[in-house]
Amino acid sequence: MSKAFSAIGEERDVERDEFTPGIEPQPTWCPGCGDFGVLKALKGAMAELGKDPEEVLLCTGIGCSGKLNSYFESYGFHTIHGRSLPVARAAKVANHDLEVVAAGGDGDGYGIGGNHFTHSARENHDMTYIVFNNEVFGLTKGQTSPTSPKGHKSKTQPHGNAKDPVRPLSMSLSAGASYIARTAAVNPNQAQEIIVEAIEHDGFSHIDFLTQCPTWNKDAKQYVPYVDVQESDDYDFDVTDRREASEMMYETEDKLYEGTVLTGRYYQDSERNSYQAEKQQRGDMPEEPLAERYFDEDYEWERSYDLIDRHK
């Protein structure tokens, strides 16, 4: 157990309710919003894994999804639009014993924060990134987002969206994420299972989480029926095979806009080293989390004076 951070690594049974704030704020999510599904699945997954709320750091972006840590009891950092990932991954680097989860919307992760998404996946930090994909900008009142279908009409695209939507799963694969899945708020059991796997995976886990927006986009019915690609006889591919995964992702991304909702695990590479392991192998990251040192009263801090001879 950590010396300075006793919430970390404690072995105990954890109740799901421990992740519910004692005084639950009035939800700012609309009735029927898919975001409730993420919240529920995340709480369930954390309890299932026996995580203490105080060893979890949940970093969110801006938008309805960014309100997640108002309703989820843990350490939280509600950052700014698109920037949850650099804040989250640095916290992981500074204290790799923390359980770090980042979350945000599709505009947050695939639009304004796309560069951070690419590079966080590439670096393969041992953390989980949940993207609330509702195919629309909800909080700012229904504008077209990076995952909105081609032709999507909104106040900012009055003649219909001229752009094809981004391909979140394919992007993630080419960027270098080592666990990639898609789930949906309408499928709470699968969602919790996938979040558990994502957290347990030692590397960057990306979950594209379909969260219906009944106010601006679609209600839950439009994500039903959904198909679990692992359970369906119609699909057969190896999630550890990059080429097969890539083809399956491509088909899944296309099908969504044709009205068929495919979900499940798409890719997992358990061989690839996490960023932490790579850095440590190179002597570029200490074995003991850096944050511990600041609470160690006996630590003898190195001094610049000991380096000064080279300047004589």
Partner 1 sequence: MTDDELIWRVAGGSGDGIDSTSQNFAKALMRSGLDVFTHRHYPSRIRGGHTYVEIRAKDGNVTSRGDGYNFLLALGDSFARNPSEHAVYGDEEVKPLSENLDDLREGGIIVYDEGLLDVEDVPNFEERVEENNWHVYPLDLRALAKEHGREVMRNTAGVGATAALVDMDLEHIEDLMSDAMGGEILEQNLEVLHDAYEQVNSMDQPHDLTVPTGEHDEDQVLVSGSHGIAYAAIDAGCRFIAGYPMTPWTDAYTIMTNLLPDMGGISEQVEDELAAAAMAVGASHAGAKAMSGSSGGGFSLMSEPLGLAEMTETPLVLLEAMRAGPSTGMPTKPEQADLEHILYTSQGDSHRVAFGPSDPKECYEQTRTAFEIAWEYQIPAIVVYDQKLSGEYRNVDASFFDREPNASLGKTLTEDEIEEAAHDATGKFKRYQHDAEDGVSPRTVPGQKGGRYLASGNEHWPTGHIAEDPDNRTAQVERRLEKLDAIHEDLDDRDQQVVYGDEDADFGLIAWGSQQGTVEEAVARLNDNGNSVKALGVSDLSPFPVEEVRAFVDSVDEAIVVEMSSTKQFRGLIQKEVGGVATKLSSLLKYNGNPFEPAEIVEAVEIEQNGGGEQPTAQTTLEPAAGD
Q: Which residues bind partner 1 (CB under 8 A)?
A: 2, 4-8, 21-23, 25, 53-55, 57, 59, 62, 67, 69-70, 73-80, 83, 85-95, 97-98, 115-116, 118-119, 279, 282-286, 288, 290-291, 293-295, 299, 301-305, 307-308, 311-312
Whether 180 and 201 have beta carbons less than 8 Å apart is answered as no
In whole angstroms, the minimum distance from the beta carbon of 75 to partner 1 comes to 4
109-145 burial string, b = 16+ CB within 10 Å, else e?
A: bbbbbbebbbebbebbbbbbbbbbbbbbbbbeebbbb
Cβ distance to partner 1 smaller for residue 38 or 256: 38
Structure tokens at 209: 């989480």
In whole angstroms, the minimum distance from the beta carbon of 231 to partner 1 comes to 37
In whole angstroms, the minimum distance from the beta carbon of 241 to partner 1 comes to 28
Cβ distance to partner 1 smaller for residue 36 or 235: 36
In whole angstroms, the minimum distance from the beta carbon of 268 to partner 1 comes to 25
Cβ distance to partner 1 smaller for residue 89 or 206: 89
**Reduced 3-state DSSP string for 35-65:** HHHHHHHHHHHHHHCCCCHHHEEEEECCCCH
How far apart CA 202 and CA 125 sit, in angstroms, is 8
How far apart CA 11 and CA 5 sit, in angstroms, is 14
Structure tokens at 244: 């097969």
In whole angstroms, the minimum distance from the beta carbon of 89 to partner 1 comes to 7
Cβ distance to partner 1 smaller for residue 14 or 291: 291
CA distances to 32, 68, 209, 234 from 53, in Å: 26, 14, 22, 40
In whole angstroms, the minimum distance from the beta carbon of 7 to partner 1 comes to 5
How far apart CA 47 and CA 197 sit, in angstroms, is 13
In whole angstroms, the minimum distance from the beta carbon of 101 to partner 1 comes to 12
Q: 293 in helix, strand or coil? A: helix
Cβ distance to partner 1 smaller for residue 73 or 253: 73
Cβ distance to partner 1 smaller for residue 5 or 235: 5
Structure tokens at 43: 């709480």
Rounded to the nearest angstrom, the gap between the alpha carbon of residue 294 and the centroid of all alpha carbons in its chain is: 29
In whole angstroms, the minimum distance from the beta carbon of 300 to partner 1 comes to 9
Cβ distance to partner 1 smaller for residue 2 or 154: 2
**C-beta neighbour count of 224 within 10 angstroms:** 12
How far apart CA 20 and CA 74 sit, in angstroms, is 9
Cβ distance to partner 1 smaller for residue 101 or 248: 101
How far apart CA 164 and CA 170 sit, in angstroms, is 14
Q: Is 54 exposed, middle or buried (0-12, 13-18, 19+ CB in 10 A)?
A: middle
